[in-house]
Amino acid sequence: MKLAIVILNWNGKELLKQFLPSVIKHSQQAKIYVADNASTDDSITFLKNNFPSIKIIKNQENGGYAKGYNDALKQVDEDIYCLLNSDVEVTENWLSSIIDEFEQHPETAIIQPKILDYKNKGSFEYAGAAGGFIDKYGYPFCRGRIFNTIEKDLGQYNNNTDIFWASGACFFVRKDVFNTLNGFDESFFAHMEEIDFCWRAFNLNYKTKYVGTSAVFHVGGATLNNTQPKKTYLNFRNSLFTLVKNVNGNIFLLVFMRLLLDGIAGIKFLLEFKPEHTFSIIKAHFSFYAHLPRLLKQRNKNSKSDNYFHKKSIVWLYYISKRKYFNCL
């Protein structure tokens, strides 16, 4: 089984300089690629001068995470892809248990390792933590992270288990599954395209797994942090995209409830003196309305399942019932 590590780069020379050495040191079982999204810095020159063994793939434009990987992976022949953010530090033997899981369980299509915070290494990291799930309204949450409550890593999630979605910060997928699903939905640009991908995989009975014996450290927000309105816009819009494309049941009632909850989030931002984020939610909703006909057509192509992890609202459980940790849900 051949493994490719593919790092998507856009003007990230400093991140490559900082984190690529750990990937090279601890990834002898893999071939390493850097897929460059039409950078305007000297990333490519830096790679050629300092890491000549790295295979460089040059994309013609900055199509974000989704199109960037879709374009780049057409040039990668290995059996397993590891899509790795450029701001991730890997650890010794991080690949061994991942490869074992793929080899021993052919039904496993997608894998995420434990993702810890590079800046606070005893805690889980926001983007993925110990594996992702989804609630009845399409809101994502993780073992180890619900909204902004992040758990310490005390070994509570060292197991291997089924999850609903894997984080795009460190996302392993079989090549044949990636191709079967036609890659990521490029209309997402960035953020939550991996959740949409995993949901489509789930609807076709592929398994997504978390492997807790493999760990990486993620900076998070190195390219677009949580304080930026653009990230709010993409997260709220793309979450609605994902919901319409994949959920089972009465989609119009579900979306209506979701829009109400988003409205409450917008009011919360106003009360926190963050009107730009409220505007981002409004903008996200209008973009969603514009894309709705296409989303409904895509929905018709998918088999459906309503077997979520939670039939309840994570918003209610977190804010009203005050259940802020995964093991309390």
* pLDDT score, position 29: 95
Residue 226 has a pLDDT of: 62
Q: Mapping DSSP to helix (H, G, I), strand (E, B) and coil, where does residue 216 land?
A: strand
Q: Give the dihedral of Cα atoms 118, 123, 129, 133; nearest 10 deg.
A: -160
Tell me which long-range contacts 117-123 makes (C-beta under 8 A, separation of at least 24): 117/150, 117/217, 117/218, 117/220, 118/87, 118/88, 118/89, 118/217, 118/218, 118/219, 118/220, 119/219, 121/217, 122/152, 122/153, 123/150, 123/151, 123/152, 123/153
pTM for the full predicted model: 0.93
Per-residue pLDDT in tens (0 to 9) along the chain, 329 residues? 899 999 999 999 999 999 999 999 999 999 999 999 999 999 999 999 999 999 999 999 999 999 999 999 999 999 999 999 999 999 999 999 999 999 999 999 999 999 999 999 999 999 999 999 999 888 899 999 999 999 999 999 999 999 999 999 999 999 999 999 999 999 999 889 999 999 999 989 999 999 999 999 999 865 555 678 999 999 999 999 999 998 887 889 989 999 999 999 999 999 999 999 999 999 999 999 999 999 998 886 665 555 555 678 898 999 999 999 999 98
Residue 139's CB is within 10 A of a number of other CB atoms, namely 20
Phi, psi dihedral angles at 263 (to 5 degrees): -60, -40
Identify the pLDDT of residue 250.
Answer: 80
pLDDT at 307: 56
